Structure 1
């Protein structure tokens, strides 16, 4: 009786990890895409609250929106 060959599924996972290095960003914590998106939204809200309290009288809120979106894109893509 011939037995089918034994397949080691863990070996394939180890090879995939060896090929693809772990992504390192500038955030000091380990994050996935959802975490980085959430951090981007929190920064968006914080910048707008700061802007409305201190700078809205002299500078438009649209500037804060542009800065917030640019920061969120940077965090999600490279964080």
Structure 2
């Protein structure tokens, strides 16, 4: 149970940090993407936005899982 908690916290921290960084860089986040869908606004996203949302962001969150699991294994020995 502790393992899942540590992994979840690391994924959350990495998600918050990555969303903050990409929003400062001007890349769309999931919040922007879903708000535009909800408002039926035209789709004016670049290829970089789509690459971030559908390829890079899941990989970044996966690294949060990897780091959380690594931390658990380091401290659990």
Q: Shorter-chain TM-score: what band?
A: 0.3 to 0.5
- Larger helix share, 1 or 2: 2
TM-score (norm 2): 0.43
**RCO (CA 8 Å, sep 6+): is it higher in 1 or 2?**
2
